[in-house]
Amino acid sequence: MTLNENKGCVYIVATPIGNLEDMSPRAVRVLREVALIACEDTRHTARLCAKFDIDTQRVSMHSHNEAKRIPSLLAKLEAGDDVAVVSDAGTPLVSDPGHRFVRAAIEAGIVVLPIPGPSAPIAALVASGFEPLPFMFIGFLARKGRARTEWLERARDFPGVTVLFESPQRVEQTLKDLHRVLGDRQIVVARELTKKFEEMVRGTLGEITVDERRGEFTLVIDRPALAKAQVDDAEIDAWIETRLAEGESPRDLSRALAKRYGIAKSDAYARVLKFR
CATH code assigned to 121-225: 3.30.950.10
Mean pLDDT (the chain, rounded): 91
C-alpha R_g of the chain:
23
DSSP 227-248: HHS---HHHHHHHHHHHHHTT-
Strands 135-140 and 161-166: parallel
With 70 as the cut, is the pLDDT of residue 242 above it?
Answer: yes
With 60 as the cut, is the pLDDT of residue 180 above it?
Answer: yes
- Asked which of 11-20, 40-49, 133-142, 207-216 is least confident by mean pLDDT, the reply is 207-216
Q: What is the pLDDT of residue 45?
A: 96
**What are the residue ranges spanned by the domains of the chain?**
9-118, 121-225, 229-273
pLDDT digits (tens, 9 = 90+) for 66-80: 999 999 999 999 999
How far apart, in whole angstroms, are the C-alpha atoms of residue 195 and residue 183?
A: 31
HSE-up (13 A, CA, CB side) for residue 39: 20
How far apart, in whole angstroms, are the C-alpha atoms of residue 105 and residue 206?
A: 46
With 80 as the cut, is the pLDDT of residue 39 above it?
Answer: yes
pLDDT digits (tens, 9 = 90+) for 190-227: 999 999 889 999 999 999 988 777 778 999 999 987 54
Q: Domain 9-118 sits in which CATH superfamily?
A: Tetrapyrrole methylase, N-terminal domain (3.40.1010.10)
Residues 1, 34 contacting (CB under 8 angstroms):
yes
Based on the number of CB atoms within 10 Å of its own CB, is 71 exposed (0-12), middle (13-18) or buried (19 or more)?
exposed
**End-to-end CA, the chain:** 60
